Structure 1
Amino acid sequence: MPIIDIRNIKKNFKKQTVLEDVSIQVEAGSIYTLLGANGAGKSTLLKIVTGLLNSDGGKVEIDQLPVDKDPREAQKVFSYNAQHASVDEVLSGLENLVLIGKLRHVSNPKAVALSLLEQFGLLDAKDKIVSTYSGGMKRRLDLAMSLVGDAKILFLDEPTTGLDPSSRLDLWKVIRKLQSSGKTIFLTTQYLEEADQLADTIGFLKDGKIIATGTPKEMKRLAGENRLHLTFSPEDLKQAKEVLIDFEPKVLAPELISIELTEEMTTILNILKVLNDHHLEPTDFETIRPTLDDVFVTLTKG
Structure 2
Amino acid sequence: MRYGPAMTSTYAVLSEGLEKRFGEVHAVRGLDLAVAPGTVCGILGPNGAGKTTAVRLLTTLLRPDAGSARVAGRDLVREPEAVRRAIAVTGQYASVDGDLTGRQNLRLFARLHRVRGPAERAAELLDRFGLTEAADRAVSTYSGGMRRRLDLAASMVRRPGILFLDEPTTGLDPASRNLIWDAVRDLTADGTTVLLTTQYLEEADRLAHDIALVDKGRVAHTGSPAQLKALIGAHVEIVVADADLLVKAAGILDHLTGGQPSFDHDRNAVGAVTRDSTLTLPRLVRELDAAGVPLLDASIRPPTLDDVFLRLTKECAV
1:253 aligned residue (264, 267, 285): 264
The 2-side partners of 1:298 and 1:244 are apart by 25
CA offset digits 1:28-49 (Å, max 9, x no partner)? 1111011122232222211211
* Correspondence list, 1:107-256, <5 A: 107-222=116-231, 224-234=232-242, 237=245, 241=249, 244=252, 246-247=255-256, 250=261, 252-254=263-265, 255-256=268-269
Structure 1 residue identity aligned to 2:219: I
Give the aligned partner of residue 265 of structure 1: 278
Q: Using the TM superposition, name which of 180-189 and 268-277 deviates more.
A: 268-277
- 1:202-228, CA deviations, whole angstroms, 9 ceiling, x for partnerless residues? 111222121122111222344x32132
1:11 matches 2:20: yes
Partner of 2:61: 52
**In the alignment, what sits opposite 1:62?**
71
Task: Give the stretch that moved more between structures: 19-28 or 58-67.
Answer: 58-67
Letter in 2 for 1:173: D
Identity of aligned residues (%): 36
With over 3 angstroms needed to count, the CA separation of the structure-2 counterparts of 1:262 and 1:103, relative to structure 1, is same
> Deviation at 1:241?
2.7
Q: Secondary structure at the match of 1:88?
A: coil
Distance 1:115 1:237, change over 3 A: same
Kindly report structure 1 stretches of 4+ aligned residues shifted beyond 6 Å: none
Distance in 1 between residues matched to 2:44 and 2:224, nearest whole Å: 12
Contact (CA 8 Å) 2:20, 2:28: kept in 1 or not? yes
* Residue of structure 1 in register with 2:7 after alignment: none
Q: Classify the secondary structure of the residue corresponding to 2:85.
A: coil
Which blocks of at least 5 consecutive residues in structure 2 are unaligned?
A: 1-9
Counterpart code for 1:188: T
Residue 4 of structure 2 corresponds to which residue in structure 1?
none
Question: Deviation at 1:152?
Answer: 1.5
Q: 1:155 to 1:271 in 2, by over 3 A?
A: same
Query: Residue 302 of structure 2 corresponds to which residue in structure 1?
Result: 289
Q: Using structure 2 for the length normalisation, give the TM-score.
A: 0.86
User: 2-side partners of 1:147 and 1:46: how far apart?
Assistant: 18
Q: How many Å apart are 1:132 and its aligned residue?
A: 1.3
* Whole-angstrom CA distance in 2 between matches of 1:281 and 1:208: 50
Deviates more, 1:181-190 or 1:271-280: 271-280
Shift of the alpha carbon at 1:232?
2.6
Distance in 1 (CA, whole Å) between partners of 2:21 and 2:31 is 13
Letter of the 2:304 partner, please give it: T
Q: CA deviation at 1:259?
A: 4.5
Deviation of 1:238 after TM superposition, in Å, equals: 6.2
Deviation at 1:244, TM superposition (A): 3.0
Question: What amino acid sits opposite 2:287 in the alignment?
Answer: V
Tell me whether 1:81 sits opposite 2:96 in the alignment: no
1:219-276 CA distance string (max 9 Å, x none): 2344x32132222322894696399373268362343233443323345443333345
What is the CA–CA distance in structure 1 between the aligned matches of 2:16 and 2:296, rounded to whole Å? 54
The superposition leaves residues 151-198 of structure 1 with CA deviations (integer Å, 9 ceiling, x where unpaired) of 111111111122223222221111112112221111111221111111
Greater Cα offset, 284-293 or 243-252: 243-252
Q: Is the 8 A contact 2:213 2:219 kept in 1?
A: yes
Partners of 2:12 and 2:71 within 8 A in 1: yes
Q: How many Å separate the matches in 1 of 2:27 and 2:122? A: 39
Deviation at 1:24, TM superposition (A): 0.3
Query: Contact conserved, 1:227 with 1:261, CA < 8 A, in 2?
Result: yes
Superposed CA RMSD in Å reads 2.4
Match of 1:21 in 2: 30
Determine the C-alpha separation between the residues in 2 that align with 1:192 and 1:44.
20
Counterpart Cα distance in 1 of 2:219 and 2:302: 24
| Distance of aligned partners of 1:15 and 1:287 in 2 relative to their CA distance in 1, 3 Å threshold | same
Aligned length: 301
